[in-house]
Amino acid sequence: MDELASAYPRSAPDALLARTRRHLDYVARLVDVRMTPAERRRLVVVGAWLSLLAATCDIDLGRHAAAGARLRTAAQLAGHAGHPEIVAWTLETRAWQAVTDANYRAAVALSRGAQEIAPHGGSAFIQATAQEGRAWARLGAGRETRDALGRVERLVAPLAMPERPEHHFHYNPAKSAAYTATTLSWLGDPAAEPYARGVLARLEAPVSGPARPRRGASARLDLALALIAAEQPEEAAHRALEAVTSGRLVPSNHWRAAEVVVAVDGLGVPEAGDLRETYREVCGGARGRRPRPADPRGRGHPRACSRRRRPGTAR
C-alpha cells in the first residue's frame, strides 16, 4: 500500500488504478481465510487504504460514480476497523471531488467534517484544512481563505520530512507550498505570482528526491492563473500550453486549464488560438462537468478578463 501511494505523484492514474485493483482483488480473496482478530483488522485497514487510493485515481480519471462507490467502501471498512484517519481521508477526497464539480460550499462542509473526525495534527487533518482553504478561494472569500492558510502554516511548521515524502496520504512541507500557490492563485492574491514561480522552480530543480512531473503540470496552471491576474496573459498562455502538452495533466485538472484558456481567449492575445486548439485536441474528450471559469480576482466569473479584452477580438 505504501509503495502504491508513493507512486501516485509520478504515475498515470489508469496504470496506478490497475495495480491497486489487483491488490484489492487479493484482499478480497483473503477475507475468508482463517486469521486472528488482529490480522483481520490489519487486512480490513489495508483494504480501506487501497479502496481510498483507487477512488482517488477514479476521480483523476473523471469516473465519479466509481469513485463514490470506492469511497463508501473505504469509509465502511475504516469504520469497521475503528480507523478515523481513513474515514477523514474519505471526506477530504469527497471535498476535492466537490471542488472539481464546482460545488464549493459542499467542499467547505466536507473539509470541515474531515477535520472533526481526523486526529488533530495528522495528515488527514492538515490536508482537509488546506482543502477548506482552496474551496473558500474558489468562493472568493478572502478572510476565510487566509484563515485556513494560516492554520495550515501553523500545523506544518513543526513537521519533519516524512520517510516517504511522495506518499499521497503523508503530508509534508513541500505539499504545503504547492497548496498555498494554488490557493492564492485561485483567490487572485498578488502574492500568487512569486509564490507560484518559487514552487515551480523547486519542482523543476529539486534539491533532493525524485522529480514530480504531475505537480509540475499543476504548478504551471497555478502560475498561468496568477499571471492573468497580474496582467501578463502572454506568459500565462505559454505556461498553460506547457501544462497541457506535458502529458501529465489528468482529466480531473482539465477544468483548471480551461479557465486559463477562456481568460486568455477573452484578452485576445496572439497566443490564444494555439492554446485553445491544443487544449481542445488534448483535453476536449475529458468526461465530467467542468466548473465555470473563475475570475482571477476570486469572484467566480471571467468578467474582469473580458473587460480588458482588446477591441475587435472574439471571446
The answer to whether 227 touches 205, Cβ cutoff 8 Å, is no
Which of helix, strand or coil describes residue 151?
Answer: helix
Our count of domains for the chain comes to 1
DSSP symbol at 252? G
DSSP symbol at 211? -
For the whole model, what pTM was predicted?
0.87
Question: Higher confidence at residue 6 or residue 291?
Answer: 6
Q: Which three cell numbers, joined as nine digits, stand for 189? A: 492574491
Give the count of beta carbons closer than 10 Å to the beta carbon of residue 202.
Answer: 17
Domain residues for the domain of 223 are 175-315
Q: Output the pLDDT for position 166.
A: 87
DSSP assignments along 247-272, one per residue = S---GGGHHHHHHHHHHHHHHT-TTH
Distance in angstroms (rounded) separating the CA atoms of residues 123 and 103: 24
* Residue 215 backbone phi and psi in degrees, to 5: -65, -35
Does 287 fall in a domain?
A: yes
Mean local confidence (pLDDT), 176-199:
94
Does 231 fall in a domain?
A: yes
Mean local confidence (pLDDT), 222-226:
96
Does 183 fall in a domain?
A: yes
Does 148 fall in a domain?
A: no
CA pseudo-torsion sign 125, 212, 292, 62: negative
Distance in angstroms (rounded) separating the CA atoms of residues 22 and 15: 11
Tell me the per-residue pLDDT of 72-121, one tens digit each, with 9 for 90 and over.
Answer: 999 999 999 999 999 999 999 999 999 999 999 999 999 999 999 999 99
Q: Output the pLDDT for position 142.
A: 97
